[in-house]
Amino acid sequence: MIGIRGVEMPSDCIECMFCNHIKNDDYGSYGDCAILGDKERMNLLLHQKHSDCPLVEIVTCKDCKHNCKNICGVDGSRVTDNFHCAGGERGE
């Protein structure tokens, strides 16, 4: 598993940095996913993520709704602001 610092979760494929080979024709706008492979074409006019998109949001403790301050509000472990866990959820 990897994370890329400073990259926000795209809301649809057209906003994704992994969408490439974007083409327009009489029927719409299409792109290929660099992660899923060039054979996985997405209709970009739908403005949604592909159903098999492997991207997931990683929430660090400083943005977590559980207010983790040195101790994780989910599992009780010691944490720092940049720590993240599977139970983290972005706060409002």
Could you count the other beta carbons within 10 Å of the beta carbon of residue 40? 14
Q: Is residue 34 part of a domain?
A: yes
Q: Is residue 5 part of a domain?
A: no
Residues 76 and 44 in one domain: no
| pLDDT tens, residue by residue, 9-57 | 898 998 999 998 888 888 889 899 998 886 778 888 888 888 888 888 8
Return d(Cα 11, Cα 14) in angstroms, integer: 9
Q: Is residue 18 part of a domain?
A: yes
Q: What range defines the domain where residue 36 resides?
A: 13-54
Residues 48 and 81 in one domain: no
pTM value? 0.65
The dihedral of CA 35, 39, 44, 50: what is its sign?
negative
Residues 48 and 60 in one domain: no
Q: Is residue 8 part of a domain?
A: no
The dihedral of CA 73, 76, 80, 85: what is its sign?
negative
Return d(Cα 66, Cα 89) in angstroms, integer: 8
Q: Report how many domains make up the chain.
A: 2
Q: Is residue 1 part of a domain?
A: no
